[in-house]
Structure 1
């Protein structure tokens, strides 16, 4: 049975034969969690379509040094670019939504304030949350073998996000009261921006304005889904229809 090679993320430009001293957090992970030793192999990814095969060169009390042996192109990105607008929900649910959406192939995530989300619009309060979310994104990429790191945007108001326009995009809001389904959308879509509400959903006024900003109401089925379930169902459906799920 082939031995699984651990993966770690390094936010640097990498080249063959380069010797790198791992950060404190990576050193702890490799040394204490993975319990690796000198000569053990590690796979590095750095937000490119390459993976870098490396070997532990030296382990001491303070750090670990690795050497880059070779690189290989490995593009696991979907042909469908997905930008998720996720209305803020409780910590565990928000963390879960971010983790699973990254594993399923989302490219960007923007946390949003809405009428029912019960979060104050104070961006300074979200600096620690943003760091936590970015760590969740990296961890998800590490687990699912994505090499490009999806972007977590700064939180903004739902209408500010909705009224933005991007070239060649299709905008979707998932609504259990809608009549259209994903199968009724155009056959070829390369860039989708879609909106998921919090536990309380959207108010009637919000839904009216969201549709005025060009979002197409789409239903996922007859049942009302929890926000974290809706994220998984929506991205899965989009990837089956337009992406790389077969």
Structure 2
């Protein structure tokens, strides 16, 4: 298999010798974007730690049919379980945060509402955002060769998320006024929840409640980072210190 073999995500149970008729959108991507032809090889992943090599079996009008011919176990997940609580930022910034945090190995992303959040609690708008964010998650996995799609949870309030209790989980909030650094965290940590604010940060009242809920306040250095920069920087350092970016 070539290193640049095109990849697509299919939300189906797959096995060797199975013939799969792809959806209209998947077929469009293969025909019009990738410009693939009959007998071309495709890598398929389906939210398991397996990849399925397939051959384009048939192209009829706007529909592509593939044949699965090989199955390989391929686990590229980090041993560090990261749950990102991200206060919702403006459109492109939130998209960028989701995309890059997934490339860096985040397991779960929960969009959060805060006092300074840029998205109001509108059901229709949030539903559209969820569909959009999940598409970004799939595309990110397609590109970075992750085979497990990280979960994007329904947006909830900042304090509801902070109060959720989990066993053996380290909880961290990044705040420019903090004195402690990431280096102060124990190297034995395997599960961590990290909290990143919006462009306007957290209010003093929010920080007080967050720390009262058991979050360790850490600094990312002397400079004030944009929200999307803060997320990527924090995850990168955590993966280097505790995960698989060695």
Runs of 4+ in 1 over 4 A off after TM superposition: none
CA contact (8 A) 1:172 1:217 kept: yes
Query: Residues of 1 paired with 2:4 and 2:228: CA distance?
Result: 30
Partner of 1:65: 65
Partner of 2:232: 232
Query: Residues of 1 paired with 2:215 and 2:100: CA distance?
Result: 23
Question: For 1:26, what is the secondary structure of its paired residue?
Answer: helix
Uncovered stretches (5+) of structure 1, i.e. residues with no partner: none
Query: Residues of 1 paired with 2:124 and 2:64: CA distance?
Result: 35
What's the offset of the Cα at 1:124? 3.2
Query: Residues of 1 paired with 2:119 and 2:18: CA distance?
Result: 46
Partner of 2:147: 147
Question: For 1:118, what is the secondary structure of its paired residue?
Answer: coil
Partner of 1:21: 21
Task: Compute the TM-score of the two structures, normalised by the length of structure 2.
Answer: 0.98
What's the offset of the Cα at 1:187? 1.9
Question: For 1:228, what is the secondary structure of its paired residue?
Answer: helix
Uncovered stretches (5+) of structure 2, i.e. residues with no partner: none
Query: Residues of 2 paired with 1:98 and 1:9: CA distance?
Result: 18
Question: For 1:186, what is the secondary structure of its paired residue?
Answer: coil
**Deviation digits for residues 78-116 of structure 1, max 9, x if unmatched?**
000000000011000000000000000000000000001
What's the offset of the Cα at 1:185? 1.0
Query: 1:123–1:191: structure 2 CA closer, same or farther, 3 Å change rule?
Result: farther
Query: Residues of 1 paired with 2:195 and 2:118: CA distance?
Result: 17
CA contact (8 A) 2:110 2:153 kept: yes
What's the offset of the Cα at 1:125? 2.1
Query: Residues of 2 paired with 1:233 and 1:31: CA distance?
Result: 37
After alignment, is 119-128 or 96-105 more displaced? Answer: 119-128
Q: After the TM superposition, which residues 92-241 of structure 1 pair with which residues of structure 2 at under 5 Å, given as runs?
A: 92-241=92-241
Query: Residues of 1 paired with 2:162 and 2:30: CA distance?
Result: 42
Question: For 1:70, what is the secondary structure of its paired residue?
Answer: strand
Query: Residues of 1 paired with 2:24 and 2:227: CA distance?
Result: 36
CA contact (8 A) 1:89 1:117 kept: yes
What's the offset of the Cα at 1:167? 1.4
CA contact (8 A) 2:90 2:118 kept: no
What's the offset of the Cα at 1:176? 1.0
What's the offset of the Cα at 1:3? 6.1
Query: Residues of 1 paired with 2:161 and 2:50: CA distance?
Result: 32
CA contact (8 A) 2:28 2:62 kept: no
CA contact (8 A) 1:88 1:111 kept: yes
CA contact (8 A) 1:84 1:193 kept: yes
Question: For 1:79, what is the secondary structure of its paired residue?
Answer: coil
Alignment pair present for 1:44 and 2:44: yes
Query: Residues of 1 paired with 2:124 and 2:231: CA distance?
Result: 26
What's the offset of the Cα at 1:186? 1.4
Partner of 1:11: 11
Question: For 2:70, what is the secondary structure of its paired residue?
Answer: strand
**Deviation digits for residues 32-80 of structure 1, max 9, x if unmatched?**
0011000000000000000000000000103110000010000000000
